[in-house]
């Protein structure tokens, strides 16, 4: 007896979503009362819409990595814990999407992009989706130089990973064009 692909995807969403909500419990967007998991869910939605016509395995990897992409970087959850629940491929994707805090700040993006490019393309799509979501209007307290640098980073991400998804690349390109004050 086979399981319908829609059931597999929905069950995977609920499992990873619950884990992400528990892991990020109490975290808020800086300066707001909004729960941080709003970001996580938005990234997953961007990736899934772009990958709707892909094979189920690609969508499952993107979904899980999107929902879990900040769990290792921003919570006390460990890679071995994620591996036990979601598998090695998901952990490899999440680790690639996580910044290496041991590196100087100016080297982190290039390092992350290098590690992401070694992953399957659905992981690339998660990074594209993450930056799309992060290109909402910048906080008022950011200086112009920081806004410009964030925009430049988005261009670097697009150049490095845009070939993974024409849909996400186009959406990111449009968000970059509108980004700023």
| Span 150-171, pLDDT tens digits | 999 999 999 999 999 999 999 9
Residue corresponding to tokens 């998660």: 126
| Span 96-139, pLDDT tens digits | 999 999 999 999 999 999 999 999 999 999 999 999 999 998 98
Closest alpha carbon to 54 in 149, 3, 124: 124
Instruction: Annotate 73-100 with three-state secondary structure.
Output: HHCCCCHHHHHHHHCHHHHHHHHHHCCC
Residue 114: φ, ψ to 5°: -60, -45
Instruction: Provide the pLDDT for residue 30.
Output: 75
Q: Are 31 and 78 in contact (CB under 8 A)?
A: no
Mean per-residue pLDDT, 23-46: 91
Distance of CA 169 to the CA centre of its chain: 14
Entry pTM? 0.93
| Span 70-96, pLDDT tens digits | 999 999 999 999 999 999 999 999 999
């Amino acid at each position: 007896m086979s399981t319908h692909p829609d059931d597999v995807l929905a069950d995977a969403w609920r499992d990873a979503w619950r884990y992400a909500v528990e892991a990020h419990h109490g975290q808020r967007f800086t300066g707001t009362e909004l729960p941080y998991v709003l970001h996580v869910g938005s990234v997953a939605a961007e990736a899934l819409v772009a990958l709707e016509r892909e094979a189920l395995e690609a969508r499952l990897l993107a979904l899980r990595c999107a929902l879990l992409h900040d769990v290792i970087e921003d919570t006390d959850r460990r890679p071995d814990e994620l591996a036990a629940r979601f598998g090695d491929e998901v952990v490899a994707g999440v680790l690639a999407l996580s910044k290496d805090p041991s590196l100087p700040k100016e080297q982190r993006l290039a390092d992350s992009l290098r590690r992401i490019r070694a992953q399957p393309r659905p992981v690339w799509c998660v990074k594209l989706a993450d930056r799309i979501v992060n290109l909402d209007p910048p906080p008022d307290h950011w200086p112009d130089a920081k806004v410009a640098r964030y925009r430049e980073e988005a261009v670097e991400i697009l150049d490095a990973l845009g070939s993974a998804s024409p849909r996400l690349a186009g959406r990111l390109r449009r968000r970059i064009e509108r980004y700023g004050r």
